[in-house]
Amino acid sequence: MNELVFIGLGLNDEQGITIKGLEEIKSADSVFMENYTSRMPDFSLERFEALCGKNVRLVNRQTLEDENGKSILEAAKKGKTVFLVPGDPFIATTHVTLRIDAEKLGIKTRIVHGISIISAIVSLSGLHNYKFGKTVTVPFSENFSETPYKVIAQNKQIGLHTLCLLDLKANEHQYLSINQALRMLIAIEQERKLGAVTPDTVAVGIARAGNNNPTLKADFVKDLENFDFGEPPYSLILPGELHFMEVEALIAFGGAPTAFRRLIK
């Protein structure tokens, strides 16, 4: 049957995919994969091809954008075609256009979900999911923006946590570090003075979500600013109001100082 199945690869390595995802690949006629919206640090294409028994055709941003996904759509007109995407296929909005184009051409589309950084980080932190507000991405300094600071301030005003994704250049293996992100936010604080990210603000840094040895560290910004998180990728949470169970979780899993207990309202 001709169709286009978007499959999430999940996080970190080739074992991040679900059993269902792997089975779908095994019965596919064509398999494409992109590795530019996000990076899976321990992913080996060789091991993955051995696991699924298929040749996987890598597509980069240039190819996909230049030809508007033509080779993928052509394959999907002829047979079962799979497009592999790190994380969950549509948490980054990049591929929504490809899916719309396929549907307009009368090609049936389906999604086989993958683990997303969004839920993994919330889960790792021990913070309560329903207390997170809008998510934001902190860019590299050359794309400087006050938006992340404003989103954190807006969320805090209504007591909510902010998940900050930190920008990366997947192909150049460049990652914005937690330290750089904090310094950028502190610099904006000095201009805007909303009290959203001060040296005494609580923050939570996460490195290598999805890996067997992620680093989770909760501390005051002044102490977190120089903490060594080890290898990338990185994310950051700026909590709003903390529930006592959340504080206990940050102490138990994130090595937070017990002074955090005094923050509970």
**Interacting residues with a second copy (CB under 8 A):** 8, 10-11, 13-20, 22-23, 51, 88-93, 96-97, 99-100, 103-104, 109-111, 113-116, 118-120, 122-124, 126, 128-137, 154, 158, 160, 209-210, 212, 245, 248-249, 252-253
Beta-ladder partners of 206: 216, 235
3-state secondary structure of 188: helix
What DSSP character marks residue 171? G
To the nearest whole angstrom, how small is the minimum distance from the Cβ of residue 197 to a second copy? 19
Q: Please, which residue, 190 or 212, has the CB nearer to a second copy? A: 212
Q: Identify which of residues 118 and 182 has a Cβ nearer to a second copy in the complex.
A: 118
Provide the phi-psi class of 55: left if phi over 0, else alpha when psi is between -120 and 50, else beta. Answer: beta
Do 209 and 235 form a contact (C-beta atoms < 8 A)? yes
For the CB of residue 52, give the shortest distance to a second copy in the complex, in Å.
Answer: 10
User: Nearest distance from residue 124's CB to a second copy, in Å?
Assistant: 6
With respect to a second copy, which residue has the nearer C-beta, 36 or 225? 36
- Give the residue with the Cβ less far from a second copy, 63 or 135: 135
- In sequence order, the 6+-apart residues with CB closer than 8 A to the CB of 36 are 60, 61, 170, 171
Question: E strand or H helix at 156, and its extent?
Answer: helix 147-157
Q: Least distance to a second copy from the beta carbon of 251, Å?
A: 9
